[in-house]
Amino acid sequence: MKLATWNVNSLKVRLPHLVDWLDAAQPDVMCLQETKLEDGKFPGAELEAAGFQAAFAGQKTYNGVALLARAAPQDVAVAIPRFADEQKRVAAATVGDTRVICLYAPNGQAVGSDKYAYKLRWYAALRDWLADELARHPRLAVLGDLNIAPEDRDVHDPKAWEGQVHCSEPERAAFRALLALGLQDAFRLFEQPEKSFSWWDYRVVAFRRNAGLRIDHILLSKELATQCVACSIDKAPRKLERPSDHTPVVAELRS
DNA sequence: ATGGCGCGCGCAGCGCGA
């Protein structure tokens, strides 16, 4: 089984890239973030033609997530339980015998801002929810734009980013708290190229300089991590015309 | 090299992302 995540930065604009990528990569589950579409405008027919059924939670202009699967998503949830939030950042579903959670974590804007406080609150609620989900679903996969670079090796210039949003110690502690539940960072299960990133700023010609961050992640429960045979970042879509600023991350599980 | 891009909204220019 192949699981993937991609922040598309507008599903409307990126739909041709997405359909091409799905055709080439042939994932079984695809998690999307920043769809920026109200549910009434979700391109369900186009994605069905590509072979996928979807669970999604969208809103106008901002945020929005979708979970695509070849088998119909079951037991769909589109919010963290008992965490009041207008922002659409969560789509969870059971696909076959695997529980999949698609996340678009808050950006946090700047350390000390209201949005940063919201990010940390969101992560605290997420941790509690994932503890419950893990208890119920030994086969759990958490994918998405988590907006945290967990370690210095996930940052192109750790000195410049030290203490900044995405790299601050409270954020990294929130990431480690997810690992402490028994989730594993699929990317780090394998030897990887140095300076592997999943996001590059549109400004400052960041992609050409590989001035990026690794903030898009696939976390696997112990049972799934045992079955994981590969995890990689696909930089190809970042080289296309009008790319998303993020690239897909893919994990393959032995069936 | 974070003014600098890209997107949505909506029709000018701003908010937001990371």
Contact assessment for residue A78 and residue A104, using Cβ atoms and an 8 Å cutoff: no
A20 as an active site residue: the answer is: no
Q: Is the CB of A62 under 7 A from strand B?
A: yes
Strand B proximal to A245 Cβ, under 7 A: yes
CA A54 to chain centre: 16
Model pLDDT, residue A153: 97
- Condensed to tens digits (0 to 9), the pLDDT of residues A83-108 reads 999 999 999 999 999 999 999 999 99
pLDDT of residue A7: 97
Structural contact between residues A225 and A190, judged by C-beta atoms closer than 8 angstroms: no
Give residue-wise pLDDT tens across range A105-137.
999 999 999 999 999 999 999 999 999 999 999
Q: In this predicted structure, what is the pLDDT of residue A204?
A: 86
Mean pLDDT, range A182-189, rounded to an integer: 98
A133-CA/B10-C1' distance, Å: 42
Task: Tell me phi and psi for residue A97, to 5 degrees.
Answer: -105, 15
Annotate A203-234 with b (16+ C-beta within 10 A) or e (fewer): eeebbeeebbbbbbbbbbbeebbeebeebbbb
pTM comes to 0.97
Q: Residue A225 to residues A42, A140, A238: CA-CA distances in angstroms?
A: 32, 10, 27
Q: How does strand A183-185 pair with strand A216-221? A: antiparallel
Distance, Å, A61 CA → B14 C1': 13
pLDDT at A81: 96
Q: What is the mean pLDDT of chain A?
A: 96
The mean pLDDT of A142-170, rounded to a whole number, is 96
Q: Residue A196's pLDDT is what? A: 97
Residue A75 CA distance to nucleotide B2 C1' (Å):
41
Judge whether residue A205 has pLDDT over 90. Answer: no
State the pLDDT at residue A10. 97
Among the options A28, A116, A145, A185, which is catalytic?
A: A145
- The pLDDT, as a whole number, for residue A184 is 98
Q: Is A145 a catalytic residue?
A: yes
Q: Which pair of structure tokens corresponds to residue A90? A: 């969560």
Residue A255 has pLDDT above 90, yes or no: no
Nearest CA to the C1' of B16 belongs to which residue? A62
Q: What is the pLDDT of residue A75?
A: 98
What's the whole-number mean pLDDT along residues A210-235? 97
Distance CA A225, CA A208 (A): 33
Positions in chain B where some atom is under 7 Å from a protein CB: 1-2, 4-9, 15-18
